[in-house]
Structure 1
Amino acid sequence: MLVMNKLRIVGAVLVTVAAAAVISSCSDKRSTGIEYARNMYDPIAYNPDQPNKNFRNGQTAQTPPAHTMPVGFDEPETEYPNTLEGYETASKNMRNPVPASQANLEEGKMLFLRMCTQCHGLTGQGDGSIVAMGKFPAPPSYSKGNSSRGGAMRDLTDGKIFHTITYGVNLMGPHRYQLTPSERWKIVLYVHELQKLQ
């Protein structure tokens, strides 16, 4: 008899708790319930595109100070300047420090597919998706075209390719802030493979 009363009491408590949970969850549809650590939901930092009264120009995203380099981008900026002379000097003096291993070549291919195919195409023939839209001229083919700076594209050296990826040329923008030097050298490895295509 005592056991039956305890079971009824426990059952009644469980039914009461369940009913309270159902009723409380249906009361206010806009309620998010109990919030833990509210400051985690409301970020303190500004988004890059938000106005920011802390800066004179009112922008959150600021241009980096002159002569600074992001972490991991430790190449000397002035060694080969963004000039035709710098391009030619880079051609003579720069050699790819990344070994031509299968792993580096595969990573170079992956980086090329992610960063370059929109213009240069999957095989470096200058038939990328942006060119197919008809709004931009095609870049020269790595295996058949001629460089706008003179010479055949298939004869481009490590230094010329690296300099071009770093600073850009014509409609191609610079990629020095999107790709680390090591990543650029891996792309150079893969571009040499594309130069061999017929």
Structure 2
Amino acid sequence: MKSLIKILVIAVVLVAVSCKKDTAPNYQFMPNMYESAGYETYGEAVFPNGIEAQLPAEGSIPRGFVPFDIENSTEGYELAKATLLSPIDSTQVDLVRGKELYDIYCGICHGNKGNGQGKLVQREKILGIPSYDDVGRAINEGSIYHTIYYGKNTMGSYANQLNEEERWQVVSYVLKLKADLEK
């Protein structure tokens, strides 16, 4: 019986070894993974017309996106300053959350007190950040929101970092800082 098992094992090993052919390549189950085409990082588009599955449906709006109807221009800024009011009432204002967001996104330049003396200004990396209580600076909730949404001068837009509700919380906190500086 033992000799029969030995013979059977030897036969199986011989069959397995005899099927291997070093001169012929092995079978490729997914040839695209072995022989993929190389593309330059910033070269021409891989799919010049786009792949239908990658393109959004025409006229669609991304989930969570709320369009802002005021344009990014000086006239739009003045219109926002004159007409735009916060949709959140005083019971929904969360100054603690507004302070957290302000410290994360705004305090580095504008300073934690809104006096224009943030870390980047103190280190002279950015210059010319005015204080919220400067005499020639009549800011209100509409102008602050417009500036957060589109940016102004050297300040970039924070529309991608803050959603609409968070932007209004920051606006409320900036108005609080302005009031504190004017005391």
TM range (shorter): 0.5 to 0.7
SS of the equivalent of 1:100 reads: coil
The residue aligned with 1:17 is none
The residue aligned with 1:27 is none
> Which stretches of structure 1, 4 residues or more, deviate above 6 A after TM superposition?
none
The residue aligned with 1:33 is none
Q: Count residues in correspondence.
A: 133
Match among 167, 171, 180 for residue 197 of structure 1: 180
CA distance in 1, matches of 2:148, 2:62: 17
Match among 74, 79, 82 for residue 84 of structure 1: 74
- For structure 1, which runs of at least 5 residues remain unmatched after alignment? 1-49, 58-63
The residue aligned with 1:160 is 143
The residue aligned with 1:122 is 112
Say yes or no: does 1:100 pair with 2:83. Answer: no
| Residues 68-108 of structure 1 deviation map (CA, whole Å, 9 limit, x = unaligned) | 865323123xx211111101111122110112237622111
Say yes or no: does 1:177 pair with 2:160. Answer: yes
CA distance in 2, matches of 1:164, 1:70: 22
Question: Percent of aligned pairs with the same residue?
Answer: 36
Using structure 1 for the length normalisation, give the TM-score: 0.59
The residue aligned with 1:34 is none
The residue aligned with 1:74 is 66
CA distance in 1, matches of 2:61, 2:163: 11
CA distance in 2, matches of 1:141, 1:183: 22
Taking a change above 3 Å as real, the CA distance of residues 165 and 103 of structure 1, as seen in their structure-2 partners, is closer
CA distance in 1, matches of 2:166, 2:178: 19
Match among 131, 135, 152 for residue 141 of structure 1: 131
Deviation of the 1:197 alpha carbon: 2.1
Q: Partner amino acid for 1:159? A: G
- For structure 2, which runs of at least 5 residues remain unmatched after alignment? 1-39, 48-54
Taking a change above 3 Å as real, the CA distance of residues 70 and 107 of structure 1, as seen in their structure-2 partners, is farther
Q: Partner amino acid for 2:64? A: G
CA distance in 1, matches of 2:61, 2:106: 23
The residue aligned with 2:23 is none
Using structure 2 for the length normalisation, give the TM-score: 0.63
CA distance in 1, matches of 2:60, 2:115: 35
Q: Is the 8 A contact 2:72 2:150 kept in 1?
A: yes
Computing the radius of gyration from Cα coordinates, the structure with the larger value is 2
CA distance in 2, matches of 1:54, 1:84: 36
The residue aligned with 1:15 is none
Deviation of the 1:156 alpha carbon: 1.2
The residue aligned with 1:9 is none
| Residues 105-129 of structure 1 deviation map (CA, whole Å, 9 limit, x = unaligned) | 2111111011101100110111111
Match among 188, 193, 196 for residue 171 of structure 2: 188
